[in-house]
Amino acid sequence: MAGIVPLPAATAGPTHPEVHVGGEFTLGRLSEGVVLGLAAVTCVGSQDPVDQALAVAVAKDRPDLEKPQVDSADFDPASPKHRYSLTMVRYFPLEGDDRSDVVVMRGSLEAVMAETNVSRKDKGLLRRNAVWAQAHGWRPLAVATAPVTGRDQVGPFTMQGFVYIGIGPTKPLPNSGPSNWAWVQVWSASLRVQHWINVAAVFTLSCTGYIIMDPFFGPAGGQSADVGFQMGWVRMVHFTVGFLWIVLGLTRVVAAFTSRDRHQRWNEWWPLKSKQDVKYLGEVLGHYALIKNHAPLFLGHNPLQQLTYTAVYLACGVQMFTGLTLFGLYHQTNWFWELMATPAHWVGIPFIRLFHTMMMFCLWAFVIVHVYLAVRADSLERHGGISSMINGGVWLRQGAKPVDAPEIG
Ligand code: HEM
């Protein structure tokens, strides 16, 4: 059994030119540099270029840290079956002068996470940082440790973090130093509840509206048969949900002018209040058109989203109005329904019905693009799209400076 063997001086010299170490990400259980030291633990005489690059990084960044190497009896290399290596190391300086016997697990992030009892939050952090590093050309070498509790007995593994490994030409990682993400609460519970009621209402109104437009059930080709009150039920659901949706829309309008939550106020929807706003809109458009590399960062909605949502709110208002016009046609018993039905007398009932139907297809087009962009924001950018409308928060890198919020701490 080997203890700590000091590094031979030669290992601090030139290494494999293609492999670099770009820093470390630690979950904070061990102080900085220790994760790097643990990642560098390897079998004596290893010719692996990653091991050699790690040895150079330790010699450069943590000259105080001895580089432990163990003999092959204490080293179990990674294999296709388990994509991590296991190394038993004695008297490792985990914290300060305290030395412990530990087993170090090093390898693929997903494989190491699967062997450790890592919380959902930490998993999110690790994956976010790994994806961010990979986007800059770096790969994570994950590190976990387990205490040696007795002769041939090892405790549970604890995830510690990872080291960024670059293979081939790599650009330096931006914001070098400890990288992290912050979860920022943005959408209030009432806004989220309204959003999902809207989804249910638009879905129900679309299904029932489509059947009113084209009643595909019942006899075909003009044959007559008794279909009972089927269409009556469909229309009743359409009207009931339609009126509930109008009430919900009215509460949204009231909130836009009275709410203390700035994300619910009307000025959050309108992006063209100053010259600076117009400039931001141009930059966002340039980014979406793949002309500009970077777009200004917004915590809430960016100017293009603001314009889109303003248009969607207006479209919904028009849909409600034309719905009331059609409804008013059957109930012209008082001045209100007479007034509501007036547009149909001006432009004709077929036009209002066509318009009401075309607006439905416009809303569908918006929903398709909206869902695509939300899933994309969740999975590719790891910023939070659909998840933000469930838990109310988005992820931003620490130190990020959104133009509509203070620096993220
Ligand atoms: C997302 C919202 C909505 C969608 C997608 C939608 C869709 C439709 C569609 C496709 C039709 C059939 C048009 C035709 O061919 O005659 C229709 C009819 C109708 N809608 Fe809507 N609608 C919506 C909201 C509303 C609202 C808020 C009201 C008002 C309460 C309303 C009231 C009506 C009425 C009265 C009819 C005519 C029913 C009939 O003639 O039997 N709709 N709707």
pLDDT tens, position by position, for the chain (409 residues)?
A: 333 333 333 344 444 557 888 888 888 888 778 888 888 888 888 888 888 888 888 888 777 776 667 777 788 888 888 899 999 888 887 776 677 888 999 999 999 999 998 888 788 888 888 887 887 788 899 999 999 887 778 899 999 999 999 887 777 776 544 456 777 888 999 999 999 999 999 999 999 999 999 988 766 655 566 777 889 999 999 999 999 999 999 999 999 999 988 888 988 888 788 888 899 999 989 988 889 888 888 888 888 889 999 999 999 999 999 999 999 998 888 999 999 999 999 999 999 999 999 999 999 999 999 998 888 777 766 666 678 898 888 888 777 788 877 666 5
Nearest-CA neighbor of 375 among 383, 367, 385? 385
Q: Ligand 1 centroid to 233 CA: how many Å?
A: 14
Other Cβ atoms closer than 10 A to 5: 13
Beta carbons of 5 and 41 less than 8 angstroms apart: no
Closest protein CA for atom 31 of ligand 1 = 323
Angle between helices 335-347 and 303-330 (to 10 degrees): 100
How far apart CA 14 and CA 5 sit, in angstroms, is: 20
62: DSSP letter: -
Token digits for 273? 């209040």
How far apart CA 147 and CA 87 sit, in angstroms, is: 12
Residues with CB under 6 A from ligand 1: 202, 205-206, 209-210, 212-213, 235, 238-239, 242-243, 245-246, 319-320, 323-324, 326-327, 353, 356-357, 360, 363
Burial level of 169, CB count in 10 A (0-12/13-18/19+)? exposed
How far apart CA 120 and CA 124 sit, in angstroms, is: 6
Token digits for 236? 């009743």
How far apart CA 4 and CA 75 sit, in angstroms, is: 13
Q: Please give the pLDDT value at position 176.
A: 46
Q: Ligand 1 centroid to 124 CA: how many Å?
A: 43
* 3-class DSSP assignment, residue 230: helix
Closest protein CA for atom 35 of ligand 1 = 327
Q: Which atom of ligand 1 is nearest to the CA of 245?
A: 27
Nearest-CA neighbor of 22 among 54, 52, 48, 47? 54
268: DSSP letter: G
Q: Which atom of ligand 1 is nearest to the CA of 357?
A: 10
Beta carbons of 381 and 387 less than 8 angstroms apart: no
How do strand 84-95 and strand 138-150 relate by DSSP bridges? unpaired
Q: Ligand 1 centroid to 295 CA: how many Å?
A: 40
Nearest-CA neighbor of 381 among 24, 138, 135? 135
How far apart CA 136 and CA 130 sit, in angstroms, is: 10
Closest protein CA for atom 37 of ligand 1 = 326
Nearest-CA neighbor of 176 among 167, 166, 184, 188? 166
Q: Ligand 1 centroid to 238 CA: how many Å?
A: 7
Q: Ligand 1 centroid to 215 CA: how many Å?
A: 13
Q: Please give the pLDDT value at position 13.
A: 45
pTM: 0.72
382 DSSP β-pair partners: none
Q: Please give the pLDDT value at position 67.
A: 65
Phi, psi of 150 (to 5 degrees): 180, -175
Q: Ligand 1 centroid to 326 CA: how many Å?
A: 8
Q: Ligand 1 centroid to 212 CA: how many Å?
A: 8
How far apart CA 192 and CA 394 sit, in angstroms, is: 13
Closest protein CA for atom 28 of ligand 1 = 323
Q: Please give the pLDDT value at position 350.
A: 97
Dihedral through CA 108, CA 110, CA 115, CA 117, nearest 10?
130
Closest protein CA for atom 42 of ligand 1 = 323
Q: Which of 252, 318, 326, when mutated, tests ligand 1's pocket best, judged by the most ligand atoms within 8 Å of its CB?
A: 326
Q: All domains of the chain, ordered by start, with CATH?
A: 9-176 (3.40.1110.10), 183-219+227-397 (1.20.950.20)
